[in-house]
Amino acid sequence: MKKLLILTMAAVMALAVAGVVFAAPPDFQLTNVGSEGPVTYSHSFHLKQKVDGKQVTCKNCHMKLFHMKKGADKITMSDIKAGKFCGACHNGKIAFGVSAKTCNKCHKK
Ligand code: HEC
Ligand code: HEC
Ligand code: HEC
C-alpha cells in the first residue's frame, strides 16, 4: 500500500516536471545585435500564429531552427536573409521579411 502511494507520487512529480519543460517561456530579449536595439522574442505571440493554415507548435522551431536555450544559437542577419533561424518564416511570404522598413519591427531601441 505504501509502495503504491510512493509510485503514484513519483508519477505525479514526473508529470509536473514535464509540464514545466513543455510550457513556453515568457518573452525574452536577444541581445547579440551589434549597434541595433535588442530583439524581443515572444513565444506566446508566435504560438498564436498559423503557418500554412496550421497552428504553430514547438515543432515549427524546435529543434530544427533553434535550440531550447536562450542565446544558444549564433543568429546573424545573413543567416536570417538566407532563410535560416527567424528567416525560415520571416521571408516576406509566411511573415514580414527583412528590409530597411522592418528592422525596427524586431529591433526595438
Ligand atoms: C517561432 C519559433 C518558436 C516556437 C514555435 C517555439 N519556440 Fe521556444 N525558442 C525559440 C527561440 C528563438 C528561442 C531562443 C533560441 C536561442 O536564443 O538560441 C527559444 C527558446 C526556448 C527555450 C529556452 C528559454 C531560455 O530562457 O533559455 C525554451 C524552454 C523553449 N524555447 C520552449 C518552447 C516550447 C515548450 C515551445 C512550444 C510550446 C516553443 N519553445 C515554441 C523559438 C520558438
Ligand atoms: C514558424 C515561423 C516563424 C518563425 C521561425 C519566427 N516567426 Fe516571427 N512571426 C511569424 C508570424 C506568422 C508572424 C505574424 C505575421 C507577421 O507579422 O508578418 C510573426 C510576427 C513576428 C513579430 C511581430 C510581432 C507583433 O507583435 O506584431 C516579430 C517581432 C517577430 N515575429 C519576431 C521573430 C523573431 C525575432 C524570430 C526569430 C528569433 C521569429 N519571429 C521567428 C512566424 C515566425
Ligand atoms: C525577423 C526579425 C528581424 C528583422 C526584421 C531584423 N533583424 Fe537583425 N537580428 C534579429 C535577430 C533574432 C538577431 C540575433 C540576436 C541574437 O542572437 O542575440 C539579429 C541580429 C542582428 C545584428 C547582429 C548580428 C549580425 O548579423 O551582424 C545586426 C547588426 C542586425 N540584426 C541588424 C539588422 C538590420 C540592419 C535590420 C533591417 C535591415 C534587421 N537586423 C532586421 C532579428 C531581426
Q: Is the CB of 83 under 6 A from ligand 1?
A: no
Is residue 55 situated within a structural domain? yes
Is residue 9 situated within a structural domain? no
Pocket test for ligand 3, best of 67, 103, 107 (most atoms within 8 A of CB): 107
* Domain, as residue range, for 95: 37-109
- Cα of 1 to ligand 2 centre, how many Å? 52
Distance CA 98, CA 89 (A): 11
Is residue 50 situated within a structural domain? yes
62-85 pLDDT, tens per residue?
A: 999 999 999 999 999 999 999 999
Per-residue pLDDT of the chain (109 residues; tens, 9 = 90+): 667 666 656 665 565 555 445 789 999 999 999 999 999 999 999 999 999 999 999 999 999 999 999 999 999 999 999 999 999 999 999 999 999 999 999 999 8
Cα–Cα nearest to 93, from 54, 62, 51: 51
The answer to whether 41 touches 2, Cβ cutoff 8 Å, is: no
Residue 61 grid cell: 522551431
- Cα of 52 to ligand 2 centre, how many Å? 14
- Provide the number of structural domains found in the chain: 1
Is residue 93 situated within a structural domain? yes
Can you give the pTM of this predicted structure? Answer: 0.92
